[in-house]
Amino acid sequence: MGVRQAEVAQALRRGKANKMIAYELNLRESTVKVHIRNIMKKLKATNRTEVAYKVNDLLAEGTLAEE
């Protein structure tokens, strides 16, 4: 996962809305949505909650931004 995707994933894990993620990372909301869609594909997640759960697991393993 790229650095930007990792930042978006961590914001998702904290329960932030797309608009808030976009504002904090100085991105457009549409870009955040693309990152989220790509994160969901990479993690084989079906929703934001599942992404948050899987990101927590990756953070525990220390493998979030290695790819």
User: Cα–Cα distances in Å, from 2 out to 7, 48, 62, 64?
Assistant: 9, 18, 14, 9
Mean pLDDT, the chain, whole residue set = 89
User: Can you give the pLDDT at residue 63?
Assistant: 67
Domain total in the chain: 1
CA angle 58, 15, 49 (to 5 degrees): 60
67 domain-assigned: no
- CATH at 29: 1.10.10.10
66 domain-assigned: no
Amino acid at 26: N
Prediction pTM value: 0.82
User: Can you give the pLDDT at residue 65?
Assistant: 56
31 confidence band (pLDDT: 50, 70, 90): very high
